[in-house]
Amino acid sequence: MIQADKLTKYYDKHTAIRDVSFAVEKGEIVGFLGPNGAGKTTTMRILTGGLPPSSGTARVAGFDVLTESLQVRRRLGYLPENVPLYTDMKVADYLTFVAEVKGLERGQRRHKVGEIMEKCGVNKVRQTLIGALSRGYRQRVGIAQALLNDPEVLILDEPTIGLDPRQIIEIRQLIKALAGQSTVILSTHILPEASMLCHRVIIINNGQIVAVDTPDNLTAGLESSNKLRIRVEGPVDQVGAALTHLSGVLRVGVEEGEAHETARSFIVESERNCDLRREASRLIVERGWGLLELRPADMSLEEIFVRLVTKEAQEVRE
């Protein structure tokens, strides 16, 4: 549904992106992750037809973004990071105007605008001037305009920026509900958001793709050991020493806790082919300590991101 092939973009002597290639399948939600200035917005602007690449090609819904840009835009919904709204228009009037621009037939517009306003939670401000809205509501109006034409492909640049926690949950639920209906690619600085929403992630740094995969596969490829999170009620020093002496253990770390707490969480790292769960639980029970939790301590998406970006930076320096 989205195909980028060796996209490169120069701004004078500065290379914004270089040889960026990836594919997004129909119905997928894919996260586009990277630090500020990594090339996320540049890539998204190329995919939406708003910026020509210096070299390389991109296709959206089967159409070339350069030579068939009108066909691409008919099938696309786009939420830029800074939503260009007409602040002197009321919400309902603005969305009706956008519906007309996007080619919705006159008889469809009122019903579609009402449906999208309800879905995006802006119905109660439909007669409010956009200039008088909070940043969160403006963001909702931006998402609403992107959805008006039932796009096959939805490109969202920081869709939850400026929203309060309740609104963030609602917008995440909305995006999640689009899986299978629209192909979604979204950029975000909120890594847990990508973990919750996305089937796969694309990580970009210094204008180049660092990784494209599921968080689980990225974790498996980066981890050279097994990790367990074990929460134990017992003397911290004794528990840590006992866990350290289990066969196959490489290191044991203790998470910070309050001085008055009687239980602590330990991260026990072992050799990759070593499963410590049975031995660790038997040890804790035999010593008379309280076993409160025992589960795999998977690498978070944040840890994956930091490790990949750091690794890439070290390779560049070398």
pLDDT on residue 178: 80
Where does residue 33 rank: exposed (0-12), middle (13-18), buried (19+ CB within 10 A)?
Answer: buried
More confident residue, 285 or 33: 285
Average pLDDT of the residues of the chain: 87
Share above pLDDT 70 across residues of the chain, in percent, rounded to a whole number: 92
Q: Which amino acid is at 233?
A: E
- 167 half-sphere exposure, CB direction, 13 A CA radius: 18
For position 175, what pLDDT does the model report?
Answer: 85
pLDDT at residue 88, as a whole number: 96
pLDDT tens column, 266-293: 999 898 788 899 999 999 999 999 999 9
Q: Which CATH number fits domain 2-219: 2.60.120.920, 3.40.190.10, 3.40.50.300, 1.10.1200.10?
A: 3.40.50.300
187's enclosing H/E stretch is strand 183-187
Residue extents of the structural domains in the chain: 2-219, 224-296
Interatomic CA distance for residues 212 and 201, integer angstroms: 6
Q: How far apart are CA 55 and CA 289, in angstroms?
A: 63
pTM for this prediction: 0.74
Output the pLDDT for position 316.
47
Assign domain 224-296 to its CATH superfamily: MTH889-like domain (3.30.70.1340)
Q: Please spell the DSSP secondary structure of 205-258, one letter per residue.
A: ETTEEEEEE-HHHHHHHH--EEEEEEEEES-HHHHHHHHHTSTTEEEEEE----
Alpha carbon distance 203, 206 (integer Å): 10
- Residue 180 in this model has a pLDDT that exceeds 90: no
